[in-house]
Amino acid sequence: MRKFLALAVLLVAAPMASQAAPLALNSGWQGFDWSGYVAAPFDRTFEFTVAAGETAALRVTDAFLSGDQFLIYNYNPIFGTLGLTSSPTSFGDSTTSYDVAFADSRWSSGQWLLGAGAYSIRGLATLSPFGGGAGALRVDRISVSEPSALVLIMLAGFAAFFFMRRSSVKK
């Protein structure tokens, strides 16, 4: 599994010929596609900025035939993995609605909260039983009260500490 993730990181980190797609917050679902069974990059990079004092939710979903799964990256300003979408619970079911796919566990989906900054989102299909496919993402502004934002920051810090400590214990 580690070799697969290392390969995925190398493929996404390498310069890609995908087109950049500027994305406005709250603009709805934006489609992407890929071709290939494993470690297949999205056909485009999505670029957007979350203004100072704002928080946004990045949502990603599979669509059409269920069964795909994605690894999502932020490539700008510092390369980093946001995470893996959920595991699909079904293969071959069909829907053309991104909202239906996002809400249904038969399709892979994921959601991440993003703070202020510039983002360049790329993705990689890590599971693609049909040799290619399509999905979508959207970025929406969300309101987070100040106490809630503080709690989110503290939870993120605790999670980072836990994972750093856990990885140092394994060595």
| Spatial separation of the C-alpha atoms in residues 143 and 55, rounded to whole Å | 7
Q: Note if the pTM is more than 0.85.
A: no
**In the chain, where the domains are located:** 2-142
- Portion of the chain with pLDDT greater than 90, in percent: 64
Q: Please determine, for residue 57, whether its predicted confidence score (pLDDT) is greater than 50.
A: yes
Question: Can you say whether residue 22 is alpha, beta or left, with left for phi > 0 and alpha for psi between -120 and 50 degrees?
Answer: beta
| Spatial separation of the C-alpha atoms in residues 162 and 105, rounded to whole Å | 28
Q: Please determine, for residue 2, whether its predicted confidence score (pLDDT) is greater than 70.
A: no
CATH 2.60.120.380 fits 2-142, yes or no: yes
